[in-house]
Amino acid sequence: MSDSHSRKRKRKNLNKEAKDLLSKDHVKGFSTTAILLSATIGFHGQFLLSTKTIATFKLPDYSFSKLKFQYLHKHNALVTSLVLSQSPSISLSATIGNPTMAFRMKAVYKTGRSFTNYDAGIHAANPNWKASIILANKCDLLKASYVHRFHQPKKISVGAEITKRFSTKEHTFTVTGSWKVDQMTTLTARVNNCGKLDTLLLHKIRHKFSLSISGEFDTKALEKVPRIGIHTLQ
């Protein structure tokens, strides 16, 4: 057999092996009837100044499709969204104010079920302190908080928070303190009227990498073993 015939035969066998490799065991069980086509269609548009419209449609199951409209102007914002499902829901959130004082509200309405959630809050702040009053969980939860910052000689923050749940008549009073030891380390502690004490030590080892040590203690049951955790954050 000549070299040319030998090369042709090898080439033929190689082509056959390549075809077998591409087809064998890789298309077994494949049928067009088993394919379910699905698609996600998205749209982002700006029809007016300071507005944005976002639409997402999923086919053939449209239950997770959403239409969102945003209006942003300086310190005022309005966001409304429509979620398509068997019981479509509409959510509306708005913020009116400035960096010193702002009013925020949010409501979610589900077709056939009236309002599933709504809350509102007032926030006030300046470089030395910030305070807020929030009415949440369909007016069942009232939360008021205040934080004061002491910049000198150490960066220390002290805060207090009061929460009251009207349905169960439960109330909680919490005091929080935070001390920035240096540019890399921050120590935070929090204790409430139930005797629960939480502590957190956060230390930045390098850029975008931190080590945190947390502890949880029950001051009314000192015989219990405290919970201590060590985590790395990136």
pLDDT tens column, 206-219: 777 889 999 999 98
- Residue with tokens 């921050």, as numbered in its chain: 186
Which amino acid does the sequence have at 130?
A: K
Q: What is the pLDDT of residue 164?
A: 95
Omega prior to 99 cis, within 30 of 0: no
Q: What is the pLDDT of residue 68?
A: 83
pLDDT tier, 77 (very low <50, low <70, confident <90, very high otherwise): confident
**Residue 99 pLDDT > 90, yes or no?**
no
Q: What is the pLDDT of residue 115?
A: 82
122 in Cβ contact with 143 (< 8 Å): no
CA distance 151 to 9: 86
User: How far is CA 20 from each of CA 9, 23, 26, 27, rounded to the nearest angstrom?
Assistant: 17, 5, 10, 11
Q: What is the mean pLDDT of the chain?
A: 80
Short-list 70, 113, 74, CA closest to 92 = 70
DSSP tag of 120: E
85 in Cβ contact with 91 (< 8 Å): no
Q: Where are the beta strands (DSSP E) in the chain?
A: 39-45, 51-59, 66-73, 76-83, 89-97, 101-110, 115-125, 129-136, 141-150, 155-165, 170-180, 185-192, 196-206, 209-218, 227-233
Q: What is the pLDDT of residue 8?
A: 57
Q: What is the pLDDT of residue 32?
A: 40
pLDDT tier, 83 (very low <50, low <70, confident <90, very high otherwise): confident
Q: What is the pLDDT of residue 155?
A: 86
pLDDT tier, 121 (very low <50, low <70, confident <90, very high otherwise): very high
53 in Cβ contact with 69 (< 8 Å): yes
**Residue 178 pLDDT > 70, yes or no?**
yes
CB within 8 Å of 116: residues ≥ 6 apart? 89, 108, 109, 110
Around Cβ 42, how many Cβ atoms within 10 Å? 9
Q: What percent of the chain has pLDDT over 70?
A: 76
Quick one: average pLDDT of 33-45?
58
**Residue 139 pLDDT > 60, yes or no?**
yes
b/e code 159-192 from CB counts within 10 Å (16+ = b) = bebebeeeeeeeeeebebebebeeeeebbbebbb
Q: What token pair was written down for 232?
A: 């790395």
pLDDT tier, 193 (very low <50, low <70, confident <90, very high otherwise): very high
